[in-house]
Amino acid sequence: MIVADSNSATSSLQASKKKSRAKDFYDLLKVRLTAVVVFSGIFGYLLGTDEISITAILALAIGSFMITGAANTINQIIEKEHDKMMKRTKGRPLPLGIISRKEAGLYALLLAVVGATFLVYYVNVYAALLSVLSLVLYAFVYTPLKRITPLSVLVGAFPGGFPPLIGWVAATGEIGIEGLVLFALQFMWQFPHFWAIAWVADTDYKKAGFKMLPFNGKKDVNTAVQISIYTMFLIPIGFLPTQYGMTGMWSGLIAALAGAAFLFQTFGLMKDKTDKSALKIMFTSFIYLPIVQLVYLFDKI
C-alpha cells in the first residue's frame, strides 16, 4: 500500500512537471501579442478575397501563429540577460533558467519551419516569404537595435505592419496598392503604440539599456509631440481603403473619426506629460486597431 502511494505520488509529480514545462514553452510564444498578429493577417485576407477558403484561413492562422511565436522566442533568447533586469520580464522562462537558450532555439526553429511550410503548401509562397522576412526583421534587426538607437522603433514598425499585408497577399497572390494601404495603416499605428508603452515602462527599459523613446529619450514635450504627429497620420490613412474601393464610405469616415479620437488622447500627454496620459494612449491604441479593422470588414460584407 505504501509502495503504491509512493508510485502514485511520483507519477503525479512527473505529470505536474510535464504540464509546467509545456506552459513554459507556451509562454515563450507571447500568445496575446501573437493573437493580434494572427487577427490582423486574417483581416487582410478577408478584405482581399471574395471567395473565402476555410483551409487557407486555418493555414494562415497556424502559419502566422508559429512564425510569430518563433520570432518572439528568438527575441527572448537574445534579450535573456536584459530581461533579468526588468520587473515585467524577469519572470519569463529564459531569465529564470527554466528553459535553456539551446532548447528555445530548437523550439523557435521548429516553429518557423512548420509555420512556413503551412503557408507555402496551403496559402502561397509570397505570403510565406513575407512572414519569414518579418521574423528576420523583428528578431535579428529590431531586437539588437533596441539597445543601440531609438530608430529601432522605425525598424520594428515594418514587421509590425506586415500582418494585414501578408493576409492580403495570401488572398490575392500580390502586394498591390491595396496591400500597401493596409500595411501603411498598421505601420503608422506602431509609433504611438510603441512610444506610449515605452513612456510607461521607461524606468524598466533604461535599466536594461533599451533606447525606445525618440529624440533624447526623455519623457518630455518633444516626445509627446512626436507621438501626436505620427498619430495624426492615421486620420488620412484611415480613409484610404475607401479611396481605393476596398470598402465603402461609412467605414472610411468611422476610421478617420477613430483616428481623430486617438489623436485627441495625445493632447493630454503634451499638456501634462504624465504616465497616466501615456497609459490612456496605450489603451486607446489597443482598442483603435481592432475596431477599425472590424469596421472595414463589416462595410465590405
Neighbours of 105 (CB within 10 A): 14
Please state the domain extents for the chain.
Answer: 9-174, 177-301
3-class DSSP string for the chain:
CHHHHHHHHHHHHHHHHHHHHHHHHHHHCCHHHHHHHHHHHHHHHHHHCCCCCHHHHHHHHHHHHHHHHHHHHHHHHHCHHHHCCCCCCCCCHHHHCCCCHHHHHHHHHHHHHHHHHHHHHHCCHHHHHHHHHHHHHHHHHHHHHCCCCCCHHHHHHHHHHHHHHHHHHHHHCCCHHHHHHHHHHHHHHHHHHHHHHHHHCHHHHHHCCCCCCCCCCCCCHHHHHHHHHHHHCHHHHHHHHHHCCCCCHHHHHHHHHHHHHHHHHHHHHHHHCCHHHHHHHHHHHHHHHHHHHHHHHHHHC
Judge whether residue 4 has pLDDT over 60: no
Decide if 82 contacts 67 (C-beta within 8 A): no
Model pLDDT, residue 185: 97
User: Half-sphere exposure (CA, 13 Å, Cβ side) for 229?
Assistant: 7
Q: What is the mean pLDDT of residues 221-241?
A: 95
Cα distance between residue 99 and residue 273, in whole Å: 39
| Mean pLDDT of the region 158-186 | 96
Which tens digits make up the pLDDT trace of 153-169? 999 999 999 999 999 99
CATH of domain 9-174: 1.10.357.140
Give the model's confidence band at 88: pLDDT under 50 very low, under 70 low, under 90 confident, else very high: confident
What does pTM read for this prediction?
Answer: 0.91
Q: What is the pLDDT of residues 199-218, one digit of tens each?
A: 999 999 998 899 999 877 88
Closest to 170 in 3D by CA, of 67, 253, 21: 67
Mean pLDDT across the chain, nearest whole number? 91
280 CB neighbour count, 10 Å cutoff: 17
What local confidence, expressed as pLDDT, does residue 253 receive?
94
Instruction: Provide, rounded to the nearest whole percent, the portion of the chain with pLDDT above 70.
Output: 94
- Residue 17: the pLDDT is 52
Report yes or no: 249 and 275 within 8 Å, Cβ to Cβ.
Answer: no
Which cell numbers in the block locate residue 19? 504540464
Under a CB-based contact definition with an 8 Å cutoff, are residues 94 and 83 in contact?
yes
**Terminal Cα-to-Cα distance of the chain (whole angstroms):** 66
Q: What angle do CA 298, 295, 262 make, to 5 degrees?
A: 175
